[in-house]
Every structure is written in structure tokens, then in C-alpha cells.
Structure 1
């Protein structure tokens, strides 16, 4: 149901698409600039918290903590919202040694590892959202979100963008690397559903792992030539269960189907 929405991080990859979709659906959307004090002073309606650092979190650890935990802490303390949807990540499962990861299972972190600042700060943001909002918070653990718009981040996004200009693709990766991919539009659909009726934690994921080789076969069937420069075979990450998300009526499209349709629409 449309209403008042505030998108924190609306200049980012997920936040920009979410804000555009909400506006198209008839929501009154406010996208505060970074540092705007009105975030703690005005009525916010449903807040979609999409702010965060991904690629450069290790180089900017203090900014990472600010974006993932400190700012949302201040927002919750000001208490000017009706609901809060906090964007986290399925990367929080990386410390688990199991095939499938469910939302209710405890997380495992090594606080002595400096690269865990991303996971630990996201986990703190999750905790505040779940325990300090009086039951008005929901957490979206996003898997690997992709798109083909110019500037879309991530390995698969860059792969898809390059496919517009060449059919000979040499990729600096291994065919054996597996990830759970979810398209940006499916991600936005899930976030809106969480804002409407979500309670607790949800994996915003397809619920299945696809290797680079799986996706490369889709390209090859469509007439592209794909070669990888590496051959590493790392252990796959835990597969994030998407059962809770399906309970909200949101089922992400398989990445192979989305990629096939995209390639079919490109000029020969």
C-alpha cells in the first residue's frame, strides 16, 4: 500500500532503483542527502535503510561502522518512523560451515579478523533494527544483486554490461566460483514486501547457487564466446534459504533465465 517512504542511501545502486519504483507505485518518497539533520526531525513513514559500504569497507572501516550501525542507531533513537527495513547481507553467513543457511540460525564471527568489520557492523545494525524498534523493524539480507544499467557494481553486472559491446569475453575469474544471484528488480520487489508486512529477518536471495560456468553456458548458447583467466575452486558459500521470502509471495527469477532474456534483447 502506498504511503510515505524515506529511502536512506537513495543515491546508491539498490536505493536509487527502490526510490524510483516507490514513486512509480504512488508513494511519497523522501531521499535525504547524506548528513541531512531532518532525518531525525521529520516524520519518515516507512524507512528503507539502503546506506552502506561494500567494495571499500576494509579501506574505510570507520565509515563502514558509521553507515552500517551508528547512523541507523541515531535514526532509531529519534523514533520518527512507522516501519524500518534494514538492508544487510548474506555475507554474514560466510563463517558458517554448512550447505544451507536459514535466518534463525546464530551467526559466527571472528572479531580478531580486521576484514570482519563489514559483517560485525551489519550484525549490529540488524540487532538494533530487530530489538529496539518495538516490533516495527525487518531485516533484508541481500545476496549478490546484479543489473546491466551503466555503473551497476559487481562481477556479473560488469559481465553483462561488457556483453553489449563485444561477443568475445575474457573474464578475470574462475568458472568454478558459485554465488546466489538476484536481479535488482526482484530485490526491490522483496524490499517493498518487507516494508508492507515483513517481520524479522529475510534472505533476499534466489535460494540457489550458480557457478560462473553455469552462466557462461547461457552466453555461449546465445552466441557469445567466454573464457576465464583463473581456475580456482573455492568452497562455495552457504546457500541462503529463500523459504521465508517466498512466504511473502516473492520468488526471485533464476539468474540463467534473466541473463538469457537479456542477451536475446541485445542487437546481433
Structure 2
């Protein structure tokens, strides 16, 4: 189902790949520049809200609130969209003490923790999208998204990019750190499924399992790379995000070990 789409944050990591996939699929895609007043005045079709701050949210708290909640609030108020899909994060589950969580779990935040401005602002954006759009809003909670394109953000992305030129690899992390990693292409496939299917509410865009740095390093070693870590921290793992709703959309994300193995085999070819 191709139609009209708007991507807010089309210059970002997810937005760029999503834009390319939509265009390739025959969609009429508009990628407004930051601050374009037409965003609130024209019909947006399916609006993907990909704007946000990640690494620098703590040093830019007011920009974080604006990016995560203020602008999406104005878009919801204008109401000129067929569907609004808001990109959020599974980091919102970090306050949970459960081993596994689903999308219906109440979220837990400490408002006195200044670093929770990321979570609180994302949660507000989610609330606006779900509750103030007349049933036309959906939320995609993204796990740790990775890729090996130049400039791809995040620990694993940087690790994969470095692997093209470095053997051995020395990584400033611990082998015990565990995260849910989901590849960028699987995220984009899920966003398209959310756009084309029935309203989906909140959906975890994750792999459904936690992988330790040591597990990924073992894949590297099996392909001929040496990997060493500078640290030995062993913090409690985050809750594991269930992906039943994602699978119900017809999307089965790949295990990070399998994707990394295929990537490394391609580098050796």
C-alpha cells in the first residue's frame, strides 16, 4: 500500500533509511526541513515522527523536551494526518524490576533524576500520540538500533564499522553488558508494517532477546577477529522487551549474532 507519507527527522539515522525504503516502494514522501511551518498546514498522509535526541539529551534538556513532546503536540493538534507513528524507545522500561515486559506494562520513572528527562519526555510524546489523535496514533518503541553505514550511532554500530579496518579490536566496554539489538532494516520493515496494517497501539521494535557483548565478540572471534574489552562492569540487565505484537504484524527480527556473522563473512569475501 503506497500513499503519501511525511517524515519528521528524515535526516536522522532511522529517518534516512525509512525515506529510501518509502521512495523505493512508490510512496509520495515529503521530508520537511526543521522549522518548516508547512508541517502544520498541509496534509501529511502517514506521518512518521523520527525526530529526537539521544546521546546529548542530558546536556540539552530543553531541546530534548521540544524534540520529544512539543512538536508532536503541535502536529497532533493540527490533526492533518492519516496516521501518526511516533518513534520512542524501550529505554522507557529501564525503571522496571521485571525480567520481561510488554507494551501494556505501566512505566516507572523517578522525576527527581535529571537524566530521566529523556524517558519522561518520550513518555509524554507517546501519551499525546496515543490519546490525542482520535485513534490515529501509534508508537514504535525501538531497542538498540544498529547498522554498519558510515556515521551509524551506537556502540555496536561503531564496533562493526571499525571491523572493516581493524584487527585486533580493543573496545571501551565490558563483555558482560547485555542489550537488545535490532538491525535498522528490521526497524524500517516494522515501521512500514505499522503504516500499512490496522492501528497497532504501542509496539516494541526489538529482537526479543538480550545479547551480551561477550556473545557478539565470540562471533567476531569465530570469523578471525581478536576482540578485547577494557572494562569488566557487570550491571543488572535491562528488562527483556516482548515482541508478540511485532510478530503479529508479520515482522520477525533477526538475531544480532546471525546478522553480525553474515556481515563479517561479507568483509572476508
**Into which bin does the TM-score normalised by the smaller protein fall?**
over 0.9
Partner of 2:34: 34
> Using the alignment, how far apart are the partners of 2:8 and 2:196 within structure 1?
17
Corresponding residue for residue 114 of structure 1: 114
In structure 1, C-alpha distance between the alignment counterparts of 2:138 and 2:194, rounded to whole Å: 7
CA distance in 1, matches of 2:268, 2:104: 45
**Offset of 1:171 from its aligned partner?**
0.2
Counterpart CA distance in 2 for 1:236 and 1:80 is 41
**CA positional deviation for 1:223:** 0.3
Number of positions where the alignment pairs a residue of Structure 1 with one of Structure 2: 268
- The equivalent of 1:100 in structure 2 is 100
Find the residue that maps to 2:84 and give its secondary structure.
strand
Tell me the residue number matched to 2:60: 60
Question: What do the CA deviations read for 1:1-45 (whole angstroms, capped 9, x no partner)?
Answer: 100000000000000100110000100000000000000011100
> Which residue of structure 2 lines up, in the alignment, with residue 123 of structure 1?
123
Gaps of at least 5 residues in structure 2 are none
**C-alpha separation in 1, matches of 2:200 and 2:212:** 32
Q: Equivalences for 1:41-56 in 2 at 5 Å?
A: 41-56=41-56
Work out whether 1:232 is the aligned partner of 2:233: yes
The CA deviation string for residues 174-214 of structure 1, in whole angstroms up to 9 with x for no partner, is: 00000000000000001111112242100000000000000
Which 5+ residue runs of structure 1 have no aligned equivalent? none
Matches of 2:203 and 2:85, distance apart in 1? 10
Name 1:246's counterpart in structure 2.
247
State the alpha-carbon separation in 2 of the partners of residues 243 and 230 from structure 1: 35
Query: Offset of 1:134 from its aligned partner?
Result: 0.7
Instruction: Tell me the distance in 1 between the aligned counterparts of 2:147 and 2:160.
Output: 8
- SS at the partner of 1:16? helix
- The alpha-carbon deviation at position 267 of structure 1 amounts to 3.6
Tell me how far apart the structure 2 counterparts of residues 134 and 251 of structure 1 sit (CA, whole Å): 29
Q: Distance in 2 between matches of 1:267 and 1:252?
A: 25
Q: Cα RMSD between the aligned structures?
A: 0.7
Give the 5 Å matches for 1:177-256: 177-197=177-197, 198-256=199-257
Question: Could you tell me how far 1:216 is from its partner in structure 2?
Answer: 0.2
1:166 Cα offset (Å): 1.3
